[in-house]
Structure 1
Amino acid sequence: MVERKQQLERDKVSRLVNWGHWFALFNGFLALIVGSRYLETVGLPETLTGWGYLALASIGQFSFLAFLLYLLLIFPVTLLLPYSKILRGLAATVATLGLCILLYDTIVYDDYGVHLSPFAFDVAWADLPSLLSGTSYIVTPIGILALELTAANFLWKRIVKIEKWRIGGKVAAVLGSCFIASHLVHIWADAAKVKDITRYDDAYPLFYPATAKSFMESHGLDSAGGLSKLGEQQQLGYSLDALSCKPQNKPNVLIVAVDALRADMLNPQTMPFLSNYGTDNQLFDKHLSGGNQFQSGMFSLFYGLQGSYMAAPDFQTISPLLTQGFVTSGYALKRFGPASNEINPRPLALFNDFDAALMDDSESRALADIQSREAFEEWRKQQTSPWFALVNLGAPETYDTPVGFAGIETIKAPQGMAPAQRVLFSQYRQSLHFIDSELKSLINHLPADTLVIITGTSGKAFTSNEAEARRDLSPQSVRVPLIIHWPGGEQAQVNYTTSHHGLAPTLMTRVLGCTNPITDYSAGRQLLMPSEQPWVYVGDNRFFAIYQDDEITVIDRHGKYDIYSSDFKTRLNKKLSAPDLIQVMREGRRLYHQ
């Protein structure tokens, strides 16, 4: 009698487990329908191979998610409380909650480009009022719950009949095969760089497709070139449309980019020549570099794009459209500067259109700056056609001055500086005074028809800790002077916010005569009128800040963020502005083909 009762209990549990598997399969199908919304954001495949992979990955992933939810939340209860009514109600509730979360994730992914996480939920929380403004937030969960209860009861009443079909193993084998096959196909696609497949790597939540890198490296194979690149497609639209440019006049163009040139040091005491030169020409009072390092500053200056694009593989071979335009217009291009800035250039194609004259600065950056100026002056005298030159001066980055430099009187350092910082501040002023003398010598010998642009690649934080300097996105590290001398003699003091992103479109429209909308090839800013965007992106693709008039938001690659007052002295206890962050993230995806 006891054995009979135990057998009945085992049969009951077995029946409930079978029911749970079929209920999970049903929810995998519903999740697949809801998950199709992700494709509206990512875009549909363009090849038959892409469609095949997407079908395998979608079926495998959403079946996996449904079974995982069952395994974690329903199966344990089946063993502890093997009562069908309790399980059906619980399973329907859990499934409804899971589908609602998935549905909300599709909305967040469409707006922000990321899946739900503590960071994403924190940001998306600000959008909840708009999401809850209608009745759908009530009707949809009720409708899903009603569907789930109906399906749970339907399957339970027919579970004995379904068991007789003996197809459960075959269905499981098909779903498992889809899951495994999608990962195997992705291993090949990752090695062969088939972008119509790898573009979906982040499309679905908890989707981590296998890659070939570790396997191939362990067997001594080169994943970058060992397999065919069949199916590789260019995803970046730079420019979004063919450029239409026709320069009317061809002035000589000189860009002087000074490493570590802080805007607050442009004063008559430290840099008398540059201070007067700014007053006599076009001076931009509220100018930001695109980053706090040489690479991010130069990237924003020449490409006109925010630093989130720096990691794009396309820019390893595609040089800036700005320099391409000058080459096409018959300009001679050359750059001069310290050789140490060539270490690990990123992106690789940034200076491809320039001939280079790089000076050894291993002993002294100040001496290298003198040599760069002299080399430029010698080269300029030899030119018979319009020229475009970049002179990069680097002494302030290392607080350097040449041997025997007289210098200027020291002044009291700003309040709040530590003793070591006061020493660096004093030496920094000496270096800037030296640079001021080099700029005076450089500019006073230029032809009258030269368009001159003087700015900083970045600002300067007074620290000897390189890691600390790389993470410092405060105004002292990114606010730089910008002075433009137009051959026509325009004079103005611009007091609205500008950034390095605006230089390329300004030169392309005013010098190269490009008529395209500037959003075709840049971040959509220009220097000669206020930007419609209330923010500026500063940094690279790993660590960046969003500068606004009244606050500065610093975000790392893990989604951790801090919000500071505009002077960076007070940390604000507030949430991210969701609408502005949406604009930033959309700008970071705008040039990619869907």
Structure 2
Amino acid sequence: MLDFFRFHLSSFVLELAFRGGSEIFAFSWQFWASTLGIVCGIVIIETIIAVLLWRRRPRGLWLAASFAIMIGLQVGAHAWHAWADANYDSRVTGITRHVPLYYGATAKRFMNKHGWVDQQKARDNQSAQGLAPSNQTGPLNYPIQPLQCSEPARKLNVLMIVIDGARWDMLDPRWMPNIYEFAQNNLTFEQHYSNGNATKPGIFTLFYSLPASYWDAFTASKKPPVTINRMQELGYQTKVLGSATLVSPAFDQNVFSSIKNLRLKTPGNHPWDRDRRITEDWLEFTEHELDPANPFFGFLFYAPPQPYGAGRLPCEIPALLGVR
């Protein structure tokens, strides 16, 4: 799958594969077996080389102690950062981006899985802990100028339905007949460009209209976009539902950081189960929770079309892409 997307092996790809897991990609057992074999092979080769070098040039105990201390400090620093990140403590995570060549470890899903931290509870309690997102700019100068706008006479409802990984040329009667038919009778914006071809930069620039290189700064400051801030000031009711987790990428710490009671994970064993669930939850919200007297902002984030085929694509798509 990573080869199909032509992604290089990087921290971003590893985060998607291991933290996002099956909610973002659908990997076969052959893929995992080959990956495990390659990793084990590399570890064995490096171990053999290390043993040979050690026997040839033995070092003193002081060298072993130095390495042990260095490794211990590294593990401690990364563990501290991972714990702070899982508990939404920006006092720690907010300074790591200023350290050159440092990429702090994160382990939200691991800690949540083993019961070490409750992500939902930690996020909901951050206000009581004094760590909630603030409208103060702090070190991040955003926005450069405050919004200058008056309250509209009529507050319109805003509903964003986003399909992850759907390219512009998929709006075709062969692949999306219902959406295509809907588009024929409504406005279609064909000159909109994203800052990247992945989920992280795409959603970030959709809300901030800024390059995705600002991701770390906004995540560390937990600064939401001015559009969401403005709608909240106008009394909009908000409902954000994602098929995949909202913690990887960490949209819960930037784009949706100001939204209370944000559901971080949608129950379901398969992408189509979670897609159906967020649709049902949205209908439930509009029928029983929504106050008709106030406008609403809704964001429905559906899974990519690819996982529905468990890693396989319709026979027509490889031909269109020139893939054999």
Normalised to the residue count of structure 1, the TM-score between the two structures is 0.29
Q: 1:373 aligns with which of 279, 282, 289?
A: 279
Q: 1:324 to 1:416 in 2, by over 3 A?
A: closer
Query: How far is the alpha carbon of 1:220 from its aligned partner?
Result: 5.8
Local SS of the residue matching 1:251: coil
Query: How far is the alpha carbon of 1:295 from its aligned partner?
Result: 1.7
Match of residue 240 from structure 1: 144
| In structure 2, C-alpha distance between the alignment counterparts of 1:411 and 1:313, rounded to whole Å | 40
| In structure 1, C-alpha distance between the alignment counterparts of 2:176 and 2:307, rounded to whole Å | 18
Query: How far is the alpha carbon of 1:215 from its aligned partner?
Result: 11
Name whichever structure is richer in strand by fraction.
Answer: 1
Q: Which has the larger radius of gyration?
A: 1
Root-mean-square deviation (Å): 3.4
Q: 1:370 to 1:395 in 2, by over 3 A?
A: farther
| In structure 2, C-alpha distance between the alignment counterparts of 1:418 and 1:218, rounded to whole Å | 44
Say whether the 8 Å CA contact 1:338–1:365 is kept in structure 2. Answer: yes
Match of residue 166 from structure 2: 261
| In structure 2, C-alpha distance between the alignment counterparts of 1:225 and 1:265, rounded to whole Å | 43
Match of residue 71 from structure 1: none
| In structure 2, C-alpha distance between the alignment counterparts of 1:372 and 1:278, rounded to whole Å | 22
Q: 1:360 aligns with which of 247, 267, 273?
A: 267
Match of residue 591 from structure 1: none
Q: 1:346 to 1:388 in 2, by over 3 A?
A: closer
Match of residue 125 from structure 2: none
| In structure 2, C-alpha distance between the alignment counterparts of 1:399 and 1:334, rounded to whole Å | 25
Local SS of the residue matching 1:260: coil
| In structure 2, C-alpha distance between the alignment counterparts of 1:267 and 1:320, rounded to whole Å | 32
Say whether the 8 Å CA contact 2:244–2:302 is kept in structure 1. Answer: no
Does residue 387 of the first structure (1) align with residue 291 of the second (2)? no
Q: 1:238 to 1:337 in 2, by over 3 A?
A: same
Q: 1:415 to 1:256 in 2, by over 3 A?
A: closer
Say whether the 8 Å CA contact 1:337–1:372 is kept in structure 2. Answer: yes
The count of residues paired between Structure 1 and Structure 2 equals 194
Say whether the 8 Å CA contact 1:315–1:350 is kept in structure 2. Answer: no
Local SS of the residue matching 1:287: coil
Deviations 1:343-384 (A, max 9, x none): 3515722212334344224x2101110110110011012311
Q: 1:301 to 1:218 in 2, by over 3 A?
A: closer
Deviations 1:521-545 (A, max 9, x none): xxxxxxxxxxxxxxxxxxxxxxxxx
Match of residue 348 from structure 1: 253
| In structure 2, C-alpha distance between the alignment counterparts of 1:298 and 1:290, rounded to whole Å | 9
Q: 2:188 aligns with which of 274, 283, 288?
A: 283
Question: Structure 1 unaligned runs (5+)?
Answer: 1-213, 402-408, 420-594
Q: 1:389 to 1:215 in 2, by over 3 A?
A: same
The residue identity in structure 1 corresponding to 2:145 is D
| In structure 1, C-alpha distance between the alignment counterparts of 2:321 and 2:208, rounded to whole Å | 37
Identity %: 24
Local SS of the residue matching 2:319: coil
| In structure 2, C-alpha distance between the alignment counterparts of 1:372 and 1:414, rounded to whole Å | 33
Local SS of the residue matching 1:392: strand
Does residue 337 of the first structure (1) align with residue 246 of the second (2)? no
Q: 1:241 to 1:367 in 2, by over 3 A?
A: same
The residue identity in structure 1 corresponding to 2:197 is N
Structure with more contact order per residue of length (Cα contacts < 8 Å, sep ≥ 6): 2
Q: 1:373 to 1:225 in 2, by over 3 A?
A: closer
Q: 1:332 to 1:315 in 2, by over 3 A?
A: farther
| In structure 2, C-alpha distance between the alignment counterparts of 1:288 and 1:215, rounded to whole Å | 44
| In structure 1, C-alpha distance between the alignment counterparts of 2:201 and 2:237, rounded to whole Å | 25
Say whether the 8 Å CA contact 2:200–2:249 is kept in structure 1. Answer: no
Say whether the 8 Å CA contact 1:257–1:390 is kept in structure 2. Answer: yes
